[in-house]
Amino acid sequence: MSEVKLKLGIPGKYEERVVTLPEGEPKPYDADSKLSVVGSRHPRLDGFAKVTGQAKYAHDIRLPDMLYAALLSCPHPHARVKSLDTSAAENMPGVKAVVAAADQHVRFAGQYVAAVAAETLEQAERACRAIKVDYEPLPFVVDLEEARQPGAPKVFDNRDSNVRAADPTERGNLAEGFAAADAVVEATYKTQVQTHACMETHGLVAHWEAPDKLKVWSSTQGTFAARDNLARRFELGAENVEVITEYMGGGFGSKLGLRDFESAAVELARKAGRPVHLMVDRKFEHLSTGNRPNSVQVMKAGCTKDGKVTAWQVDSYGTSGIGGGAGVANPSVYDFPAVRKTSADVYTNAGPGCPMRAPGHPQGIFAVESMMDELAYKIGMDPVEFRRKNNSHPIRDAEFELGMKAIGWERRNQTPGAGPGPLHRGIGVASGRWSNVGERRNSRIQVRVAIHPDGGVEVENGAQDLGTGTRTIVGLLAAEELGLPVEALTVKIGHTSYPYGPASGGSSTAPGLAPTVRKAALLARRRLFEVVAPALQAQPEQLECRDGKITVVSDPGKTMDWKRACGLLGTTPINELATRSDNFDGWQAEAAGVQFAEVEVDVETGRVRVLKVVVVQDCGTVLDRLTAESQVIGAVIQGISYALLEDRILDRTTGVMVNPNLEQYKIAGSWDMPEIEAIMYDAAIGYNNAGVNGLGEPPVTPTAAAIANAVYNAAGLRMRELPITPWRVLAADAARRGGRS
Amino acid sequence: MTTPFTYLEPAGLADASRLARQEGAMLKAGGIDLLDEMKEGLVAPEKVVRLSALKGMDRIEVKNGKLRIGALVTLATVAAHKQVREHARILAAAAGQAATPQIRNAATVGGNLCQRPRCWYYRHEDFPCRKKGGDQCFAETGENRYHAIFAADGPCHIVHPSALGTALAALGGQILVFDGQKSRSVAVEQFFALPSVDVTRENVLQPGEIIEAVEIPSAKGKKSAYHKQRERLAADWPLAEVAVVYEVKNGAADGVRLVLGHAAPIPWRCPTAESYLSGKKIDAGAAAEAARLAMAAAAPLAQNEYKVPLFTVLIARALMAAEKGEPA
Ligand SMILES: Cc1cc2nc3c(=O)[nH]c(=O)nc-3n(C[C@H](O)[C@H](O)[C@H](O)COP(=O)(O)OP(=O)(O)OC[C@H]3O[C@@H](n4cnc5c(N)ncnc54)[C@H](O)[C@@H]3O)c2cc1C
């Protein structure tokens, strides 16, 4: 153990902290760190391969003798499979294997019931239709409100009702809080179901290399989770299951574990004795692979006339279909002295929800930040000032300041909705929240760095790059430590034969990997210095490596280039494996982030156009400014799409999704994109030696709220339900004018 | 899911018509809509007749004050063509704003006019709706935010999808139909048919009949506008679409043709509004009153009431834009 002094915080608020580190731990990055490649604007290492099509996704894998699988889904929202006859399908041309789902009780329209592998995808699809299934349709419910009613059809017969309430939470004295309030707002906010809509649909290619040896190319955000799931499911040793995810086309939380239909493909491969390729179609992707649950949030809050929130109360419920986890992260962003919260999951006969980019947050923050706005306007206070009065997070406070300048906050409408004509412009604000500085202790994450006698360097970790730039930041961190250009390194990821890496959930990949990469690279560098020191007539600790050279710090004349130095290794490469150290204390573990949106509303047609979004976002150390900005921009795009367009629509009478495609399930496209300005806010936070906080999720959390608040500022219309469609804007406008339009 | 089919190359128009008359045969032009329908399992033709093999159907010409556009001309060409822009600028605008650049480069005039509706019940193989021979219109009591606000008696509540259909109706266009032996000219309004006529079809074409071309009286010098409103700007269908054409005689509107798309199962003309406007100078007041009249008979379903104020505004705006001579 050793003690080091760190300078942590943000400009104007630095603090010295003494932290205790385990032996061999690199000195953590802090405000005084002088970094050359880390924090630069480096293009993605695999960008070229991706845009030229050289990058091979699971979808692209073609093996000799490979079969294609197709799935048969149940068309009914609730049914029992009375019989399932595959004999006709088995005898169809090209068909090599058929399997049926274990679960014969189907609880949503689209649930997988059987799978076929055939020589071509078309043959497999045709054979699926030849499977005869006799369903006994059962009563069902797809509507959130109907499902809550007593006597509603039950999704699970073994439960008393469809409602599963979580324990309420309460803090402070609510009654006193409301009594102290000068203004109280009560409102109900609603959000819709959003599907992940990954560009690359779910699936894998399964290849049994031997009866007890399985190799799988999977579109997964957890290579090791997939491996362990497969090993359990097929009763194999984990060492005999290999999972490869060199590239993947998005997951957003929906690809964290092995799905039943994916197991089916592996089973088909075993049955047929040939590799099987399964990539689900877009309809199945919408129906069965997860979604962001909807929500209804009934809120009441009060504040004093000088802008302090005194009490906050929320009752929320939502449906995650046949899954759980519809709770919303609410109130969460600000400091409220008295809070009461209840929440409930409501089961419906719909596809299961699953984690989606900041689970619970965009929904919760849409409601909280809308209500903050309503309170601010009610007491006639600047909405930013109001928020700052209820915020104690120093980074968030600084970000408000920067964001106001960048958007030109003073340009907002002084009177919401004022001005002649149908077109109104306005600006809104909201703040986000998330945190992930890595596991506190006992992390299993390991990174291997090898230095070869020919000067080559390998950095290995088996985690996948979800699309967030993992490969690039791993390279940059190792390059920084070794004083080499990143192009001189070979980064190997996405393969379970490399050291253990984290699943990419909860923005955990960078805070898990970054400090471990540094540590492994440092160990390897020390070993190289031990070999090189005698040749430079120096001690190892007197050496540094920079710009591809190893040099004696006190005597720069004594130097040797990287390649020659590695030559001194003879025939034995350096091979260092580092395990992630436990976290130490830091300065601020929670990421904030603020967003300002400028919109134009046509109150006659109801159309909302987002003109500009400014994001000021922190994530501790910014490892690569380009990939960080692209995370932020991508999140804002997803947030705009959530705010204005996306909606999974289930037919109320049949329970079937009517828009399971990308035509009627509307996702914002390039023409809908405003100017997005991503300002990365640097903070030295500690906790791990790279000072990294997760970034994948925080910037998606406040976008919808900022847009809704901008619509209010522009048009004077308070939009309490997402998505903000033309008909909702027109209805709000008609209601304001006090009657039907 | 697609089923196997034979791909047939016709030797000429008559041959194409003969081939298309065979059991299980369908015509393919750009294939944008046909392939969508095949993949969803809505149609499974055993024979696909490749219209694009035909020569000479991709020409645009102006003769005797009429613009003639071959059925195989792509939307991209319609949008960019100098003579179309000169004689029928709202047609160029309608073509240029439809779908996406990729689609416009493949989609043809004939295919666009004959495309099947986008109703999500019709497009989903699990809904055996009336249009597919079933006995129910799921939209009537279901999810009908994008459905029709006119022709409420159904028995089907689709909206007319073709942007060209709406514009052509406003331009007073004719559709040249080849029946295997000879061609006949059908006014656009006679070409499209309400579901009450035959719920399984949207137009009057008989098996084996082929659209050869469309003919449009030149609208050069007339006032016109094409306006539409979408939810998103990329690759989205209109919520509402308005096309208007008229002449100005002695400072007043004459021969007004006001047509709505995505309002009814066919391009929807607004006769009361049209006759109200004839002989009037179009100003904001007249435009607003015409819009009101056009919407007077609207009978929205449970979720599409918003289309009434939306059309009201778009009609008024389109009239004013036409009057002021703003770009189509
Ligand atoms: C995402 C998306 C957005 C779209 N947005 C719009 C839009 O905004 N506005 C719009 O108008 N359209 C839109 N479309 C529809 C598209 O424009 C049509 O599908 C396309 O124009 C069809 O033309 P095609 O030549 O490809 O027809 P095909 O698919 O080849 O044929 C369509 C049908 O017409 C028949 N047919 C074709 N040619 C003839 C002929 N000469 N005579 C008789 N029958 C014929 C075929 O048998 C077939 O039944 C959109 C489509 C998509 C996928």
pLDDT score, position B1:
67
d(CA B53, CA B309): 46
Residue closest via CA to ligand 1's atom 43 equals B210
List Cα–Cα distances, B144 to A698, B115, B133, B240, B307, in angstroms.
36, 20, 20, 14, 11
Across the beta sheet with A132-137, what order do the strands follow?
Answer: A105-106, A79-85, A132-137
Is A165 found in the same domain as A134? no
Beta carbons within 8 Å of A375's beta carbon, 6+ residues apart? A183, A185, A301, A302, A303, A309, A386
Q: CA gyration radius for chain B?
A: 19
| A190 & A203 share domain | no
Same domain, A401 and A534: no
Residue written as tokens 């799921």?
B138
Q: What SS3 state is found at A337?
A: coil
Give, for ligand 1, the residue of B91, B103, B109, B266 to mutate: max count of ligand atoms closer than 8 Å to Cβ.
Answer: B103
Look at B234 and A668 and tell me if their CB atoms are within 8 Å.
yes
Q: Which residues of chain B does CATH 3.30.43.10 include?
A: 1-53
Collect all residues with Cβ–Cβ distance below 8 Å to B137 and sequence separation of at least 6.
B121, B129, B130, B154, B155, B156, B157
Is the CB of B31 inside a 6 Å radius of any atom of ligand 1? yes
Grade residue A581 by pLDDT with cuts at 50, 70 and 90. Answer: very high
Query: A309: pLDDT confidence band, cut at 50, 70 and 90?
Result: very high
Q: Which of A430-444, B24-38, B41-55, B289-303 has the lowest mean pLDDT?
A: A430-444
For residues A687 and A613, is the Cβ–Cβ distance under 8 A? no
Sheet holding B223-230, edge to edge: B223-230, B238-249, B252-261, B268-269
Pair A413, A366 in one domain:
no
Segments forming the whole domain that contains residue A360: 154-195+291-390
**DSSP category for residue A321:** T
Q: What are φ and ψ of residue B83, in 5° steps?
A: -70, -35
Residues A369 and A397 in one domain: no
Do A364 and A493 lie in one domain? The reply is no
CB-ligand 1 contact for B284 (6 Å cutoff)? no
Question: HEC string of B30-94?
Answer: CCHHHHHHHHCCCCCCCEEEEHHHCCCCCCEEEECCEEEEECCCEHHHHHHCHHHHHHCHHHHHH
**Which of A371, A390, A409 is the endpoint of a domain?**
A390
Q: Is-contact A466 A696, C-beta < 8 A?
A: yes
pLDDT of residue A740: 45
A161 vs A163: CA distance, rounded Å: 5
- Nearest to A519, CA basis, from A570, A436, A581, A467: A581
Whether B121 and A75 lie within 8 Å, measured CB to CB: no
- pLDDT tens-place string over residues A153-165: 999 999 999 999 9
Enter the ipTM. 0.96
- Tell how strand A163-165 and strand A339-346 pair up: antiparallel
Claim to verify: residue A565 and residue A596 sit in the same structural domain: no
**Distance in Å, alpha carbon of B83 to nearest chain A alpha carbon:** 28
Record the tokens describing residue B83, joined without a space: 């003579």
Ranges of beta strands (E only) in A149-212 are: 163-165, 169-171, 183-191, 194-195, 203-210
**Residue among B114, B179, B229, B239 whose CB has most ligand 1 atoms within 8 A, to mutate:** B114
- Does residue A52 lie within any of the structural domains? no
Contact B234 A125 (CB under 8 A): no
CB-nearest to B120 from A605, A659, A727 is A659
HEC assignment per residue over A83-131: EEECHHHHCCCCEEEEEECCCCEECCCCCEEEEEEECCHHHHHHHHHCC
Q: B139 to chain A: nearest residue by CA?
A: A651
Taking an 8 Å cut-off on Cβ atoms, the answer to whether B1 and A126 are in contact is yes
At residue A741, the pLDDT reads 41
Residues A325 and A377 both lie in one domain: yes
Q: Minimal Cα distance from A669: which residue of B?
A: B234
> Exposure string (b/e) for A366-388, b if CB count within 10 Å is 16 or more?
bbbbbbbbbbbbeeebbbbebbb
Q: How far is the CA of B29 from the centre of ligand 1 (A)?
A: 8
CB of residue B98 inside a 6 A radius of ligand 1:
yes
Mean pLDDT, residues B6-29 taken together: 97
Distance B137 CA to ligand 1 centre (A): 23
Which residue, A232, A269, A237, A231, is CA-closest to A61?
A: A269
Are A480 and A409 contacting, i.e. CB atoms less than 8 angstroms apart?
no
Which pLDDT tens digit goes with each residue over A595-638? 999 999 999 999 999 999 999 999 999 999 999 999 999 999 99
For B8-37, what is the mean pLDDT? 97
CATH number belonging to domain B1-53 = 3.30.43.10
Does ligand 1 come within 6 angstroms of the Cβ of B72? no
Q: Under an 8 A CB cutoff, do A672 and B234 touch?
A: yes
Q: Which CATH number does the domain housing residue A561 bear?
A: 3.30.365.10
pLDDT greater than 70 at residue A72: yes
Residue A716, both tokens: 């004077």
We find that the CATH architecture of domain B223-324 is: 2-Layer Sandwich (3.30)
Please say which residue of A579, A596, A621 terminates a domain: A579
Give yes or no for residue B138 having a pLDDT over 80: yes
Could you tell me which residues are beta bridge partners of residue A613? A597, A676
Residue A41 lies in a domain: no
Split into its structural domains, chain A has a count of 4
Q: Give the single-character DSSP code of A687.
A: S
Q: Which two tokens stand for residue A256?
A: 């964290």
**pLDDT at residue number A739:** 57
What residue in B sits closest to A727 (Cα-Cα)? B306
- CA distances to A246, A448, A458, B294 from A544, in Å: 33, 21, 20, 81
Residues A685 and A721 in one domain: yes
Mean pLDDT of A379-385: 98
Q: Which residues of A touch B300 (CB under 8 A)?
A: none
Q: Name the domain boundary from A390, A425, A453.
A: A390
Looking at the fold, whether A566 and A597 belong to one and the same domain comes out as no
Through-space distance between the first and last CA atoms of chain B, rounded to whole angstroms = 40
Of A697, A631, A686, which Cα lies nearest the Cα of A10? A686
Phi, psi of A444 (to 5 degrees): -95, 0
Give the model confidence (pLDDT) of A429-487 as tens digits.
Answer: 999 999 899 988 889 999 999 999 999 999 999 999 999 999 999 999 999 999 999 99
Percent of chain B clearing pLDDT 90 (strictly above)? 96
- Report whether pLDDT(A729) > 50: yes
- For ligand 1, say whether the CB of B108 is within 6 Å of any of its atoms: yes
Nearest CA in chain A to B39: A122
**CA dist A706 to A133, A418, A531, A595, A699, Å?**
49, 19, 57, 6, 12
Tokens of A318: 């939502």
Q: Tell me which chain B residues have a C-beta less than 8 angstroms from the C-beta of A192.
A: none
Q: How many CB atoms lie within 10 A of CB B315?
A: 27
B106, pLDDT greater than 50: yes
Q: How many CB atoms lie within 10 A of CB B43?
A: 16
Evaluate whether residue A39 is within a structural domain: no
At B252, list the tokens. Answer: 């007043």
A282 and A248 in a common domain: yes
Report chain A's C-alpha Rg in angstroms: 28
- Return the structure tokens found at A459: 């950095």
pLDDT number for residue B139:
98
Residue A331, pLDDT score:
77
CB B170 within 8 A of CB B224: yes
pTM for this entry: 0.97
In a domain, A146, yes or no: no
- For the segment A729-735, the average pLDDT, to the nearest whole number, is 97
Distance B249 CA to ligand 1 centre (A): 37
Asked if the Cβ–Cβ distance from A668 to B308 is below 8 Å, we say no
CB contact under 8 A, A669 and B308: no
- Tokens 């599907």 correspond to A195
Element of type H or E holding A259: none
* Torsions phi, psi for A556 (to 5 deg): -60, -15
Say whether A730 and B121 touch across the interface (CB within 8 A): no
Same domain, A450 and A499: yes
Q: Does the pLDDT of residue A524 top 50, yes or no?
A: yes
A111, A122, A192, A664, best to mutate vs chain B, most B CBs in 10 Å: A664
B84: how many CB neighbours lie within 10 A of its CB? 24
pLDDT tens figures, A675-685: 999 999 999 99
Averaged pLDDT, B198-225 = 97
Nearest CB to B233 within list A122, A660, A671: A671
* Predicted pLDDT of residue A714: 98
Give the residue, A188 or A331, on which the prediction is more confident: A188
Cross-chain residue pair A656–B2, CB shorter than 8 Å: no
Residue B48: HSE in the Cβ half-sphere, 13 Å Cα cutoff: 19
Closest Cα in chain A, distance from residue B179 (Å): 34
**The pLDDT value given to residue A257:** 87
Give the amino acid at A268: L
Ligand 1 pocket, residue B138 CB under 6 Å = no
pLDDT one-digit tens code per residue, A205-220: 999 999 999 999 999 9
C-alpha A543/C-alpha B63 separation (Å) is: 87
Chain B: closest CA distance from residue A671 (Å): 5
At A134, the amino acid letter reads D
What's the rounded Cα separation, in Å, for the pair A71 and A112? 7
Mean pLDDT of chain A: 96
Q: pLDDT at position A103, please?
A: 85
